[in-house]
Structure 1
Amino acid sequence: MDSMDPKALLLFAKVVECSGISNAARTLSVPKATISRAISRLEASLGTRLLERTSRQMRLTESGETIYSYCQRIAEEIEEAKAAVGSIQGVTRGKLRLASPLTFGRSLLSPALPKFLARYPELHIELELTNRRVDPVEENFDVVIRLGPLADTSLIAKKLGVVEFAPCASPAYLKAKTKPKHPHDLARHAIIDFFGGAERHNWIFSRSGEKVEAEVVPSFDVNDPIVRRDAAVAGLGVALLPLFLVREEIENGQLQVILPQWQSTRTNGIYALYPNRRSLSLKSRVFLAFLEEEMPSRLAGELLPETPIPAERR
């Protein structure tokens, strides 16, 4: 087998990423014939077909899928080599691929990114906001933000903070109802939460070492916290909401924290996950350092327990 041309491997990877030679040629501003010849030579050197091409579509052969996984690694190593050289020159550069849950990404990460990019102007960020469970190794992400308990033992996890929850309702709703003074009073209120189809649920509260389970029944069951917040603002009932998501609504009087003397035991840890299969790249290190620097102050400003929760507005 003849030696493989590294440039041909990178061209092959670009063809796969662009779903075709024509698209890759346009992206790279390279003649189609150049890419076609490079892939033909690569297939000849390997002694196997990598692509099944027709006039309408292209698909990877089994050999093509195997080679493509290696091409991705090569492209990544080249990117990291460029970033390493940049670090020697005092410049952090390259593409930083991030994934984050939708609500966290919109409410906390997105407002912080302009400051990060101003600090590292030669970094290019590719951010995917999604609530699916992203695998940074399989999907080639540098850093993945995840909330809640972690089950991945193959990943390194850096804890960035904790999301606290509190029951909230609108002044209009509370004016029409008797304000709850004890968690058990919630049984008589309209409840907004994500119950996943359950007919009832327990909200757990603590106060001075005392723990109380309040059985509640949902009147509005939805898996999006922003929709739950908006429903509470609209006066549809009491919602147990992440405090970082309702700071503005509490400050402007659209929502009130009820049962302020009780603390909900519901919390979500915020973690930055990254693969441990190789040493952490400079671009990932500076981003993680930025999150460690930025998130505590942002979360503290978002009414975490260290900041007094506003009393109900009169």
Structure 2
Amino acid sequence: MTIDVVVSMRVFTAVVDAGSFTGAADKLDLSRGMATRYVAQLEEHLGVRLLQRTTRKLSLTEAGVDYYERAIQVLTMIAEAESSVAQEASVPRGILRVSSSNAFGARHLGLAITEYLRQYPGVQVDVTLNDRVVDLVEEGFDVAIRVATKIDPGLVARKLASSRLVVCASPGYLKKYGTPKVPEDLVNHHCLTYAYVSSPNEWRFRREGVEQKILVSGSLSGNSGDILRSAAVEGLGVTLQPDFLIYETLRERKLVRVLSDWETDDLAVFAVYPNRKFLPPKVRSFIDFLVERFGPEPYWNIESGSS
């Protein structure tokens, strides 16, 4: 006969403590018959009688006294182990491996991680910045911060904040070459393109539900938004960049937004992680921290009326 020894121990010690099967059954939310059955099965399993039963009272046998003392020790150890594991599972600790793009990571994650570590000193963060899409499981990352229009199906992601693409150029460039009034004007401008998208030379615009795809060209294309921003500031051309990368440059008027009355692709900053189930506290706390820090209205947000 197979029995649950730990449960039977709990019932047995509860019977002893209560002085009756009825009292133990009430404490454990069992029927009196079920409590009696657990103790009987435990005695049969051990091959000894633990309790002397009379119509008036229960008393422990010699074997019962010894088993009760040992059972209390075992149950205490189990309770302590469960409490320790539960506490461990609720406290963020350990090494947290994070991946992010160069542009977003260097500009926004550094200070965020510093503040996070002040709140959670039990965590050590190992952050890697690159602009390729990493394989979280294969490369051992706990979470990746990705900026995209959407996340591929099959990945678990949580949106941290919104972003938008902004067309901009330096005041000097616009003075020299003129300001584009409609998207078609970009065909006659030097455009600086980001290489890590599916169609770098195709810029999309929408107005009143109608989409236009403009093929642009220029003397510089690269996989670094920082390089493209710097080139634009120096007057090399027009660039299409996310607001989280250029918001300070726009506010300082080193770059000027153009075509602001046309919609461009909306982006979002996502935290992507391998598995939704049993998310470690270090990952959950980090994602929650970033949601609070960056959302719902991120500090890099450029008002639609900006020029």
- TM interval, shorter chain, is 0.5 to 0.7
Q: Residue 190 of structure 1 contacts residue 237 of structure 1 at CA under 8 Å; is this kept in 2?
A: yes
Describe how 1:63-142 pairs up with structure 2 within 5 A.
85-86=87-88, 91-142=91-142
Describe how 1:209-220 pairs up with structure 2 within 5 A.
209-220=209-220
What is the CA RMSD across the aligned residues, in angstroms?
2.7
- Give the letter for the 1:106 counterpart: A
Report the Cα distance in structure 1 between the residues aligned to 2:268 and 2:298, rounded to whole angstroms: 14
**Partner of residue 226, structure 2:** 226
- The one-character-per-residue Cα deviations of 1:232-259 (angstroms, maximum 9, x if unpaired) are 0000010011111111111111000011
**How has the CA–CA distance of structure 1 residues 157 and 197 changed in structure 2, closer, same or farther, with 3 Å as cutoff?**
closer
Q: Residue 193 of structure 2 contacts residue 201 of structure 2 at CA under 8 Å; is this kept in 1?
A: no
Question: Bigger shift: 171-180 or 108-117?
Answer: 108-117
Q: Secondary structure at 2:136's aligned position in 1?
A: coil
- Give the letter for the 1:310 counterpart: S
Establish whether residue 238 from structure 1 lines up as the match of residue 234 from structure 2: no
**Partner of residue 300, structure 1:** 298
Q: Residue 97 of structure 1 contacts residue 143 of structure 1 at CA under 8 Å; is this kept in 2?
A: yes
Report the Cα distance in structure 2 between the residues aligned to 1:215 and 1:278, rounded to whole angstroms: 44
Establish whether residue 151 from structure 1 lines up as the match of residue 149 from structure 2: no
- Give the letter for the 1:99 counterpart: S
**How has the CA–CA distance of structure 1 residues 197 and 273 changed in structure 2, closer, same or farther, with 3 Å as cutoff?**
closer
Deviation at 1:277, TM superposition (A): 7.9
**How has the CA–CA distance of structure 1 residues 82 and 244 changed in structure 2, closer, same or farther, with 3 Å as cutoff?**
farther
User: Normalised by the size of structure 2, how large is the TM-score?
Assistant: 0.65
- Give the letter for the 2:295 counterpart: P
Report the Cα distance in structure 1 between the residues aligned to 2:126 and 2:85, rounded to whole angstroms: 16
Report the Cα distance in structure 2 between the residues aligned to 1:83 and 1:162, rounded to whole angstroms: 37
Report the Cα distance in structure 2 between the residues aligned to 1:209 and 1:198, rounded to whole angstroms: 23
Establish whether residue 310 from structure 1 lines up as the match of residue 291 from structure 2: no
- Give the letter for the 1:151 counterpart: D
Deviation at 1:140, TM superposition (A): 2.2
Percent of residue pairs bearing the same amino acid type:
35
Runs of 4 or more, structure 1, over 4 Å off, are 81-84, 195-200
Q: Secondary structure at 2:121's aligned position in 1?
A: coil
**How has the CA–CA distance of structure 1 residues 121 and 168 changed in structure 2, closer, same or farther, with 3 Å as cutoff?**
same
Q: Residue 89 of structure 2 contacts residue 280 of structure 2 at CA under 8 Å; is this kept in 1?
A: no
Deviation at 1:278, TM superposition (A): 5.2
- Give the letter for the 2:287 counterpart: L
**Partner of residue 10, structure 1:** none
Report the Cα distance in structure 2 between the residues aligned to 1:218 and 1:93, rounded to whole angstroms: 48
Deviation at 1:207, TM superposition (A): 2.4
Establish whether residue 274 from structure 1 lines up as the match of residue 273 from structure 2: yes
**Partner of residue 79, structure 2:** none
5+ long unaligned stretches in structure 2: 1-82
Q: Secondary structure at 1:213's aligned position in 2?
A: strand
Q: Secondary structure at 1:260's aligned position in 2?
A: coil
**Partner of residue 289, structure 2:** 290
Report the Cα distance in structure 1 between the residues aligned to 2:276 and 2:284, rounded to whole angstroms: 15
